[in-house]
Structure formats: structure tokens, C-alpha cells
Amino acid sequence: MSRVAVIGAGAVGCYYGARLAQAGHDVHFLMRRDYDAVAARGLRVTSKDGDFALAAPAIARRSEEIGPVDWVLCALKATAIEHAEALVAPCVGEHTRILAVMNGLGLEERFAGWFGARRVFGGLAFTCINRGEPGEVHHLDYGPLLIGHAEDDRAELAVAAALWADATVEVSTSPSLLAARWQKLTWNIPFNGLAVTAGGITTDRILAQPGLRAAADATIREVVAAGNADLAAHGEAARLDADTLAATMIALTDAMAVYRPSTMIDFVEGRAMEVAAIFEEPARRAATLGVPAPHMALLAALMRALDGLRRE
Amino acid sequence: MSRVAVIGAGAVGCYYGARLAQAGHDVHFLMRRDYDAVAARGLRVTSKDGDFALAAPAIARRSEEIGPVDWVLCALKATAIEHAEALVAPCVGEHTRILAVMNGLGLEERFAGWFGARRVFGGLAFTCINRGEPGEVHHLDYGPLLIGHAEDDRAELAVAAALWADATVEVSTSPSLLAARWQKLTWNIPFNGLAVTAGGITTDRILAQPGLRAAADATIREVVAAGNADLAAHGEAARLDADTLAATMIALTDAMAVYRPSTMIDFVEGRAMEVAAIFEEPARRAATLGVPAPHMALLAALMRALDGLRRE
């Protein structure tokens, strides 16, 4: 049994944290918005793999109340990266490992700078999860977690996988964290980007309009090309395959039916969007590496503009 | 003196029609929204070239009241093209000429099909004009009119230019109507498109954000490439120059300061946008001709989606 701190108890943090608690781990949730609701009624998960609830999960308002743990599961939005060090540090002891289940590029580098790369992992959640009422999370579809290590250490990856051995989560490890991050971006950039820039629409409507569907396909291929150039620039052997990922991501999304990507929800609800980590940093790397990526560049520029408007 | 019917008395139709009336022509305006206001108080134009007013312009609620004229100035929105034949036909006699001051591709072909190509002209208004209160038009900047003939006939172009000889409008003629239309699109596609997809922003904000400014430049170059391929496919000798047009359109727009493109106004006011003529037909031609045009394609797809949302 491991002692776990969930920092960033949104839909993703609550869901994966609850799965770890369900598997018998000692999970502590740092909560803000949902604290009172969870204190009163527990944490409820509706899931395509079976609903369940934690009647009285351990919750805290401040990280100091949790203290050092074996694992920090950090599921903050990438927009909150500047607050991550202060929120995570009180839970970090000598042997603590940190799994950042966040989207975008450049995040592990920040954690590595604060806490040392040796203990830092990245997690990519291939899943459809939304928040419901306070204290409620809806797991709609999929659910696999792909984990990489900041130093791509195999022994460390085995330790990370072991944490999830008894959890109802399909976990795999990637020999290249950077490849895993780019792979996840082949979904996030087109589908979060188009869902927002097309006015706040669901994924089914992206795929139903031929022009947007073609744009999704073209964007995936740009992300693959940029990712492969970035992997090569980092001396990594891993490569992504454009045809496979384009077919896979579009087929998975076709099967999702009416899904609201997280950034689209942020957009329509007027919250800050993860523009820097998901859009700008990948587009910046593509430009630096000389990879033509007009869809990535245009989506990044539009997302930046739309994010600015939300907060005026 | 010519007898002129203005069909489509929005900002552009009212402005150029008023300039023809000011020059002494017998101008009749088909009016809908502004009829009562103009009947009561006339038509007022605030202009950077000097304000003026028509105290009692000839106005009509139906084209039949106007009857045959020498010139039809058709300034309908491209979205109303299906209504154009019925609105214009009552004003067309044996010697009537038609000048379509509209944006986009494929419009003259429609007029030519209805009335014969010989009498059809296209006009491109390089100007910043907005409607004000009913009966009021604001001419903010620029104003030149570039006119082409559906059969690129030089003698006919001279007749068209003569109409404007005494008007306070800088008129030039293009030996290629198709080249003129593509040239106008090098402004309309990037600046109308980005102003809408970035959330309904003014042109100054497009140019102030490096990512959007770069997208505008890249889009102009795609439009030029598509236009040149289209001109070649039509056997025309005219060609557009990418560097010149990119520099010119961006410099002209920098000088406009805070301008709201017409499609952006349609967007924020929830009206139908000119998606087919300005975005989809050019993108379709680029695709058919094998010209890479990712910005044009993505903007067309996003505009179609956003236009659909407006009308749900």
C-alpha cells in the first residue's frame, strides 16, 4: 500500500486518485472547490467500467496537512504550472515520486528543476472524463494511462506500473516520455483546438463536417512530424507513425460520440485554457525545428487570442 | 447622366450609390431596413473625404418600382446571391449594364447565366465602410473601386469607368476581373477570417499578435498561389505577386487602426456570413488545382462551423 497525494483534484485527479483508493492505497486529495461536498457526501464516480464511491476519502485544504507521501499524483491544469511547486513541495520527502498527469510539453522539465528528474514521471490519460456536480466525476469512455519517466529509466517505470497493479486502470509504460507526450498531443491539438475555434463544439461535430475532419487529419500529421523532429533533436530513437496515429485518433474520436474536450469546456465556461503547454510550445518547437506546421501555428494563435478575450 | 438602380442598400451600396447621386446621376435605391429613415431624413454619409447628404434620394421598396436602368449597382451580400436574379431582373432592359460590387468568387458567373456575360461587371471596393444608424453610412478609410468586365472587354471597361468620371471615387479598371477578385481576396480571407475565428476582434488586434500577424501573411501568400493557379487554369496572363500583396495588405491594414471587417460585424451580430463566396469557393479551387492552402482550408472549415452555430 502506498501513501498518495492527489494535487489538482479536477476530473482527472479525482478519477485516477479514486481508482488508487479503490485499489487499497492511502489516498489524500487536496481539494478546493469540492471540499465541502466531498466532506459531506464523499466522492462519487460514474464509470463505464462500473460506478463506485469513496464514502469518506481523506481530504485536505492545504498540502501541508497531507505531508510527505510515496507518490504525488499531480493533475493540475497546465495553466497552474506556476503554482505546482508550492502545492507539491509539502508532500515531497526523501523517497517521494511525482507523477504529473497533465497535458502539454515542458512540464516534467519544471518538476525536474524543482525536485530532481529522478523522481519525476509523466502520465498521459487517454480518457473521456468530465466533472459533474461537486464531489462527482463522470468517466465516459476509455481510460488507459500511459506513463513515462523523466530519465526514461526502466526500473523506475516498473515501480510506477506497480502502483497501479490492483487498480481498475489499464496502465502501460513508454520507453520515451517525450514520445508519449507527443502522441497525446496528436489528439489534444486537433480536437481541443478545433472544438474551441469552431465555436465550442463537441467532437462529433468536428468529425461530421468534412472540412474540420480533414483539418483534424492534417493537424495530426503535422504534430507527428514535429514530434519526430523533436525526438530526433533530443537524441531519442522513438518515432511516431503518422498514418497509424491519424487513423487511430480519428477512429477513437468517432467512437466517442458527443464528447466535450476539457479545453472546450474551459472555453465555454470562461476559464483559462491550456494554450501554452498544449498549443504554443509544440508550435514553437515545430517552428524552431523547421517543420512546416500551419495548422498548429494557426490554432495556437487563435487559441491565444480566444483565451485573451475570455479574460477581458 | 445615367439612370442607376442600387440593389442591396447596405453600407457599400449606399456609399457608392450616394457618390453617383452626388455626381449628378439619377440614382434609385432599393431599400428595406432603412426605407422609413431615409424617407424621413434622407441619406447621410460621414466620410474621410468630406461628409455629405442626399436630402431626398429616390427610394423604392420593390425593384419593379424602379424599372429598367442604364446601370444596376448590385451590392447584395454574397449570401443573398440566390435572391439576386429576382431583385435585379426588373431593372434590366435591353441596354442595362450590371456592376456587382460584391466579395468572393463565382458571382459574375451567376449574373452572366441570368443576364448574359456581355453586360456583367464586377467591382471590388477597397474601403472601410460601416453602417451607422438607419439612413447613415460611415466611410472610414480608403475608397478605391477596381472594376473588371466579365469578358475582360476593354471598350466595356471604358464605359464603366466613364460612369464614375465625376464621382468622388477613385476608380480603376482591371484587364482581368478574375485577377481583381483574387486580389481582393488576399485581404478578405485573412482579415475577415481571422477577425471572426479569433473571437470577433478588430484588425489592429490581428496585427498586434505575432501569431495572428504571421497567419495573415501566410494566408495572403496562399491566396496569391491559388489565384495564380486559377488564372493559369483560365488561360489568363495576369499574375499576382505574393511579396507585394503581403506587404501592401498588411501595411494598409496597419494604417486602418481599429477596423471591424464586415464579416466580423455579421458574426458578432449573429447574421449569416459570406462563407461560400469568400472562403469555401477559393479553398475549393486551391484544392482542385493542387495548391497547398492549409490556412485557407482551415479558415473555411471554421467559418462554416461558426456560421452554422450563429443560426442554431
Q: What DSSP string runs through A115-166?
A: H-GGGEEEEEEEEEEEE-STTEEEEEEEEEEEEEETT--HHHHHHHHHHTTT
The pLDDT value given to residue B56? 96
pLDDT tens for B106-148 read 999 999 999 999 999 999 999 999 999 999 999 999 999 999 9
Q: Is B282 helix (H, G, I), strand (E, B) or coil?
A: helix
pLDDT tens for A60-87 read 999 999 999 999 999 999 999 999 999 9
The residue to which cell 439619377 is assigned: B26
pLDDT tens for B29-48 read 999 999 999 999 999 999 99
Partner-chain contact B301 A199, CB within 8 Å: no
Contact A99, A147 (CB under 8 A): yes
Partner-chain contact B199 A297, CB within 8 Å: no
Q: From B278, B125, B251, select the one nearest B196 (Cα to Cα).
A: B278
Q: Which residues of B touch A214 (CB under 8 A)?
A: 297, 301
**Burial of residue A23 (number of CB atoms within 10 Å: 0-12, 13-18, 19+):** middle
Q: Is A77 helix (H, G, I), strand (E, B) or coil?
A: coil
What separation in angstroms does the CA of B65 have from each of B2, B28, B71, B77?
Answer: 17, 10, 15, 22
Q: Which residues of A touch B (CB under 8 A)?
A: 194, 197-201, 205, 209, 211-212, 214-215, 218, 294-295, 297-302, 304-306, 309
* Residues B123, B111: Cα–Cα separation, whole Å: 13
Q: Phi then psi for B177, rounded to 5 degrees? A: -65, -40
CATH of domain A3-174: 3.40.50.720
Q: Is the pLDDT of residue B293 over 90?
A: yes
pLDDT tens for A246-305 read 999 999 999 987 999 999 999 999 999 999 999 999 999 999 999 999 999 999 999 999
Q: Which residues of B touch A194 (CB under 8 A)?
A: 302
Each domain of chain B, given as residue ranges in start order, spans 3-174, 179-311
* Residues A188, B75: Cα–Cα separation, whole Å: 43
Question: Which residues does residue B34 pair with via DSSP β-bridges, in sequence order?
Answer: none
Contact A127, A142 (CB under 8 A): yes
* pLDDT band at residue B311 under the 50/70/90 scheme: low
Nearest to A198 among B198, B212, B306 (CB): B306
* Residues A23, A166: Cα–Cα separation, whole Å: 5
Tell me which amino acid residue B297 is.
A
CA distance A65 to chain B (A): 43
Q: C-alpha A146: how far from its chain's center?
A: 10
Alpha-helix runs per DSSP H in chain B: 11-22, 35-41, 63-66, 81-88, 107-115, 154-163, 177-187, 193-197, 203-208, 210-233, 242-256, 262-268, 275, 281-288, 294-310
Q: Which one-letter DSSP state was computed for residue A280?
A: I
Partner-chain contact A306 B199, CB within 8 Å: yes
Q: Which residues of B touch A197 (CB under 8 A)?
A: 197, 302
CATH of domain A179-311: 1.10.1040.10
Contact A83, A30 (CB under 8 A): no
Does the pTM surpass 0.95? The reply is no
Q: And the C-alpha cell for A21?
A: 483508493
Contact A292, A283 (CB under 8 A): no
* Residues B16, B123: Cα–Cα separation, whole Å: 11
CA distance B190 to chain A (A): 11
Complex confidence, ipTM: 0.90
Mean pLDDT, residues A22-40 = 96
Encode B170-206: b = buried (16+ Cβ within 10 Å), e = exposed.
ebebbebbbbbbbbbbbbbbbbbbbbbbbbbbbbebb
Nearest to A306 among B198, B215, B297 (CB): B198
Nearest to A297 among B201, B209, B211 (CB): B211
Q: From B79, B82, B69, select the one nearest B30 (Cα to Cα).
A: B69
The pLDDT value given to residue A312? 64
Q: Phi then psi for A10, rounded to 5 degrees? A: -85, -155
Q: Is the pLDDT of residue A311 over 90?
A: no
Q: Is the pLDDT of residue B173 over 70?
A: yes
Contact B233, B182 (CB under 8 A): no
Per 3-state DSSP, chain A is made up of helix, strand and coil in percentages (nearest 5) of 50, 20, 25
Strands B69-74 and B58-60: unpaired
Write the Ramachandran bin of A90: left for phi over 0, alpha for psi from -120 to 50, otherwise beta.
alpha
Partner-chain contact A199 B305, CB within 8 Å: yes
Nearest to A305 among B212, B294, B298 (CB): B212
